Amino acid sequence: MTDTREIFDLRLARSAPDLWPMLAQLYGDHPDYPSLRDTLLADMRAAWKARPADLKTLDLQRDLEPDWFQRPDMLGYVFYIDRFAGNLAGVHDKLDYLESLGVTYVHLMPCLKPRPGDSDGGYSVMDYRRINPAYGTMGDLQTLSKALRKRGMSLCIDMVLNHTAKEHAWAKKARAGDAAHRDMYLFFDDDTLPKAYEQTLIEIFPDNAPGSFTHYPDIGKWVWTTFNEHQWDLNWANPRVFVEIARIMLFLANKGVDVLRLDAVAFMWKRMGTRCQSEPEVHMILRALRAVTRICAASVLHLEEAIVGPAEMLTYFGRGEHDGREGNLAYHNNLMVQFWSALATRDTGLMTHVLRTHFPENLTNATYATYIRCHDDIGWAITDEDAGALGFSGAAHRTYLSDFYEGTFEGSFARGALFQENPATGDKRISGTFASLAGLELAQANADPDQIETAVQRILLGNALIASYGGVPLIYMGDEIALTNDYGYLHVPEHSHDSRWIHRPRMDWDRLKRAQSDPDSPEGQVLRGTRHIYARRKATPQLHGAHACRIRDTGNPALFAFQRIAPANTLLCLFNFSQTWQHVPGHWLRDNGVSDFHDALSGGAVDLENDMFAMPPLGRVWLT
């Protein structure tokens, strides 16, 4: 019988081409590389030896079923622990609720120990091996991971790769003058090089953290701080950083983490004269880190967080030599942006063009994380080239969308908040909950039943879209009961400068009770509709993430369509983004694979009149 050491060696041999050649290209000329390579291998063997038996069994199961995360029963739920359930112990009490939604993937928003005070929502981590004490302990996380596995749920947590908090032990030693730890960050004796780099860098938080470097008079140094003064960028050109991060990833994997959401990966490699985003070395690093976990914790997935343009985003699945060897999941930011754009314009032309032109029908060993909103702001990732191809100005359209979703554009149904306007670039991003951006907040303020019904239908349209496009759909906490904006953040000193807290409300359990007791209320309709959509997704095999997604041009700007092409039969998914009835010729439906005119979403038959299919305002169907 094969022992565990032999299994490790077999997995090492399988993934060696993704590990050692990448590290040699990155670090082969570094004097410390040979010894650190040996250290890495020893750490990997130790992590495998320490891996709990039940997790080794899960590794084997997922090796045998590598498509487990692409299946249509996958549904994610994302929340801040304190705002959902108080602490990790409290999450246990809510698992029945998550199970009732059909959730199989639970993302705990940043839960590793952050710096005190402002921590960028938890992304300024001072200890990767400890849980935020306000939430519990690492033992509590391990207990929760076991409880989730018993229910068929996977656990996702955030692992920040670009930076640590300045209070991290490594940073403290660096600040104290320790040379080895200084080389783990990016220190400069004066501002000559920082000024040279900043010629091509893009400010991330221009309002409250301008620039990309911070001067510390007490040590007479400048430090690279892409995001905030308290977040020090790591020096990934140093192989020691790779080894230390790999150790932490394996530590977390052995605590039962199934998905590592790798945060801010685009910024990891620095090169003069560039944006210092998505440089080729970033993909070598991520491919090598993927190999490390595939060897030592084969059941673990990597979700790579890179909110960038289409061509750049696809590189995080691996393009060219890295194809299928890098990230398992990446956010489909463009699907989210195009949803909001089409809602505001009632025109899907740009959506059809972007998703058909820039995105492949299939991905290798990977799939999308699809979403309508997340914990972050919405940046309008619409290029001048794509807008120009359709005959309008990209800059003007981005401005229109910001004004529309802030609620300042005349006739807008949305209520949002401006986030980080950059006068130099004209970039204006938007914060707001799904329900408020979809019009429910304004509709309820107006006490207008028709507006309320329209807002509910927009929310369900979005859910039907992300449920069927392909990938793992993610529900952000509270969207299933149509939570609206929380303006209370303005009265919290550590939040008031950051409008993203407007869409990070506390879970309203009383609202959930009302939704359950009154299914005809707006929140009741959204809850019932959301549960229905994801139950139908689970029962529709064509929605497996490995099946091709082929965008179709309907010839009608109000309608967006794509085919999910499965071996048995094709599913045609059709969405009406307008607030008027639309008619689709029967011959177009038949030409696009519809044969028995059954709607997999409603579970009923579709009727044609005079060979025309009538779609109601904001209607959606999945036709077989």
Query: Where in the sequence numbering do the catalytic residues fall?
Result: 263, 305
From the list 163, 303, 340, 282, the residue with the least C-alpha distance to 234 is 163
DSSP strand pairing (367-370 vs 472-476): parallel
Measure the CA–CA gap between 282 and 428, rounded to whole angstroms.
27
Token code pair at residue 406: 């802030």
Secondary structure class of 223 (helix, strand, coil): strand
From the list 211, 206, 168, 169, the residue with the least C-alpha distance to 188 is 211
With 0-12 CB in 10 A as exposed, 13-18 as middle and 19+ as buried, what is 347? middle
549: β partners: 564
Region label for 290, one of left (φ > 0), alpha (ψ between -120 and 50) or beta (otherwise): alpha
Residue 306 makes CB contacts below 8 A (sequence gap 6+) with 265, 266, 278, 312, 313, 316, 330, 331
Q: Are 382 and 369 in contact (CB under 8 A)?
A: no
Measure the CA–CA gap between 239 and 244, rounded to whole angstroms.
9
From the list 552, 590, 555, the residue with the least C-alpha distance to 574 is 552
From the list 398, 390, 400, 374, the residue with the least C-alpha distance to 466 is 374
Beta strands in 174-276 (DSSP E): 187-188, 213-216, 221-224, 231-233, 259-263
| Count of beta carbons in the 10 Å neighbourhood of residue 89 | 13
Token code pair at residue 572: 């045609």
Measure the CA–CA gap between 121 and 375, rounded to whole angstroms.
9
Residue 74 makes CB contacts below 8 A (sequence gap 6+) with 104, 105, 472, 473, 545
Measure the CA–CA gap between 463 and 471, rounded to whole angstroms.
13
CA distances from 118 to 108, 127, 137, 341 (A): 19, 15, 21, 33
Q: Are 563 and 549 in contact (CB under 8 A)?
A: yes
The full DSSP string for 284-338 is: HHHHHHHHHHHHH-TT-EEEE-----HHHHHGGG--GGGTTSS-SEEE-HHHHHH
Task: Determine the distance from the C-alpha atom of residue 438 to the mean position of all C-alpha atoms in its chain, rounded to a whole number.
Answer: 20
- Exposure string of 264-284, with b = 16+ CB inside 10 Å and e = fewer, is bbbbbbbeeeeebbbbebbbb
| Count of beta carbons in the 10 Å neighbourhood of residue 215 | 15
